[in-house]
Amino acid sequence: MKALSRTHNAMILILLVACMIATRFKHFGDAMHLPDASMAVLFIGGIYLRRHLAFAGFVTLAVLVDWISVNYAGVSDFCITPAYAFLLPAYAVLWYGGRACGVGRSFFGSLAFGFVAACLSFAISNGGFYWLGGRYANPHVAEYVARLWQWGPLFVRTTMAYLVVALLVRNAVAYLVKSGGTMETSSGVHVATEVAPTDKQGGR
């Protein structure tokens, strides 16, 4: 598929940054806040923006938002532990999973890539937090599996919901652009058909 223009890349970048900032402060959402879209943002960013520097920028943005949330917005620091560092590989799975997926993949193919990336990403971040975060005095496999099953579906489901919306918007825009091009082409053929007889008559 043809590479996106700088303008399109800039628009996608702005939308993804705005989405992360708007939703990350309240990770689970409530009546006034949407659920955290960070995982979906990183996967979509990997699809369209792709660059390593952009990935570093989004990770930095996530850390900055968390720092502001904890220090100035009254958000609990329960999740801020040494295991917070595991967000880097967890987010890398999402970004580079998006890169592997690519722009031209089908709707369901993109969803499949997103699902696998979201599951692996959550397993890394949750596993790091449970085993190395120091919040659980006696961690054991049974409790870890229970917590993984408790929280995993929520995060993966949220990521997939955002991804479905993004892919539907992408397909709608692509359809409108294609339809507009087809209409312009059809109009050009119609005009040429009408002009041709006139030229022919003038030549008689």
Confidence of residue 74 (pLDDT cuts 50, 70, 90): confident
The residues, any chain, with a CB within 8 Å of residue 142's CB and separated by 6 or more, are: none
Contact status, residue 127 vs residue 144, Cβ threshold 8 Å: yes
Neighbour-count burial for 157-181, b at 16+ CB within 10 Å, e otherwise: ebbbebbeebbeebeeeeeeeeeee
pLDDT at 175: 86
pLDDT digits (tens, 9 = 90+) for 32-70: 468 899 999 999 999 999 999 999 999 999 999 999 999
CA distances from 126 to 4, 79, 107 (A): 35, 10, 28
pLDDT at 194: 47
Neighbour-count burial for 63-78, b at 16+ CB within 10 Å, e otherwise: eebbeebeeeeebeee
Neighbours of 11 (CB within 10 A): 13
CA-to-CA distance for 104 and 58, rounded, in angstroms? 23
Average pLDDT of span 57-84:
92
Name the nearest CA neighbour of 4 among 51, 37, 40, 38: 51
pLDDT digits (tens, 9 = 90+) for 124-134: 999 999 999 98
pLDDT at 5: 78
Confidence of residue 201 (pLDDT cuts 50, 70, 90): very low
Structural domain boundaries of the chain? 6-198
